[in-house]
């Protein structure tokens, strides 16, 4: 079996009145970059690149024009060989960011092909399933636009997640310490003491500010404080972690084993959050998880994309080991994005739905999903 071609899709949709903001910007669109890799045996694989800024078409072009010609004729089963070859080809100027996100989508698609060719779900190829369902927390609670009261709108959204059966939820912060505290207090009082509450500053603060906020949030039982400082500021992460009673999480803006090596070895975070669709795909994620396991550092992957990325994330989550292994291991959380998204769920023929606070992990070959090409073309740029 040989790779015969690659096709990419850059998707975009306007949010209209459902635009939302966070500590860094406000968005009125949702975008995604998806690739489909074909083989001469008729087996196809699909992958997604993590998108959060910049036009998705740039990532799609890197996949199609930068990496595509290098894939033709290769054996798709050689995932590690292909990963190393593509990384080395762009290594001089592509060690992080959009280049690695593009490589991630290609790697995910190749693992999808492997699973389909062998008639096994990807989690079997990764070593087996530690679990067959994922306990989810809701990612939402962004800053709504054009509402009479942001705080009232956030409280209403949080109560909706509670009513839907979520065991936890994540609130965006980073708007200023006093504003953040008002939101945290209002959400905690609304949802009660039994649900987990996480906060995410999207690297809006320096270390002294983050420490002030962390200490002020302690009465509200915040489970973790995500991205308190910029990703480049490892010393800042370490300082915040040393002076905070709240768990510090980070890693969604880091790439490959080389970037995560420093986060792990320097004990900069309590919870590591690599994004499968950004940091290098399954092939590289296995290396990072092994490094984290050696340091006994919990991994709770970042997940934020369409149902292609969600399906890939669930396959990874099934094979995620316990940190640490014990008779009664801790049950990890899985991130489930609930922010406004016009095409998130429709890009695959198979649909995901939460039941009792959990998502079932597909046991079908590959990622367990099929791209709905007609639907995707409606949103292709």
Enzyme catalytic residues: 302
**Which residues face 44 on adjacent strands?**
38
Q: Reduce the secondary structure of 124-141 to three states and give it as a string.
A: HHCCCCCCCEEEEEEECC
Q: Where are the alpha helices (DSSP H) in 91-222?
A: 98-118, 122-125, 150-164, 177-191, 207-217
Residue 276 CB neighbour total at 10 angstroms: 27
Give the strand pairing for 3-14 and 29-39.
antiparallel
Peptide bond into 240 cis (omega under 30): no
Can you list the alpha helix ranges (DSSP code H) found in the chain?
56-61, 68-71, 79-90, 98-118, 122-125, 150-164, 177-191, 207-217, 234-242, 256-265, 276-279, 281-294, 307-318, 373-379
Residues 6+ apart with CB under 8 A from 338: 138, 139, 140, 161
């Amino acid at each position: 079996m040989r790779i015969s071609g690659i096709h990419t899709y850059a998707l975009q949709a306007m949010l209209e009145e459902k635009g939302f903001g966070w500590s860094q910007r406000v968005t009125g669109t949702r975008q995604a970059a998806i690739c489909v890799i074909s083989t001469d045996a008729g087996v196809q694989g699909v992958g997604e690149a993590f998108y959060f800024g910049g036009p998705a078409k740039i990532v799609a072009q890197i996949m199609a024009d930068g990496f595509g010609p290098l894939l033709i004729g290769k054996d798709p089963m050689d995932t590690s060989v292909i990963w190393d070859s593509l990384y080395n080809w762009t290594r001089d100027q592509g060690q992080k960011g959009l280049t690695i996100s593009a490589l991630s989508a290609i790697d995910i698609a190749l693992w999808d092909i492997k699973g389909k060719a062998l008639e096994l779900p990807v989690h079997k190829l990764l070593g087996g399933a530690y679990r067959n369902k994922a306990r989810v927390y809701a990612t939402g609670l962004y800053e709504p636009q054009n509402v009479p009261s942001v705080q009232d709108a956030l409280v209403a959204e949080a109560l909706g997640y509670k009513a839907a059966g979520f065991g936890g939820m994540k609130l965006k912060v980073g708007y200023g310490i006093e504003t953040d505290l008002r939101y945290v207090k209002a959400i905690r009082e609304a949802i009660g003491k039994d649900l987990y509450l996480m906060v995410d500053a999207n690297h809006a603060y320096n270390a002294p500010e983050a420490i002030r906020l962390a200490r002020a949030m302690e009465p509200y039982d915040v489970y973790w404080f995500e991205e308190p400082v910029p990703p480049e500021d490892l010393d800042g992460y370490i300082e915040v972690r040393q002076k905070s009673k709240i768990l510090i999480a980070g890693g969604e803006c880091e790439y490959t084993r080389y970037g995560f090596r420093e986060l792990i070895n320097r004990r900069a975070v309590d919870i590591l959050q690599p994004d499968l669709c950004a940091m290098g795909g399954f092939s590289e994620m296995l290396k990072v998880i092994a490094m984290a396991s050696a340091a006994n550092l919990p991994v709770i992957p970042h997940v934020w994309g369409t149902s292609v990325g969600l399906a890939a994330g669930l396959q990874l989550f099934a094979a995620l080991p316990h940190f640490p292994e014990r008779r009664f291991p801790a049950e990890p959380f899985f991130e489930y994005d609930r922010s406004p998204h016009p095409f998130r769920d429709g890009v695959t023929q198979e649909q995901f739905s939460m039941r009792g606070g959990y998502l079932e992990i597909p046991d079908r070959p590959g990622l367990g999903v099929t791209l709905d090409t007609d639907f995707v073309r409606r949103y292709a740029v």
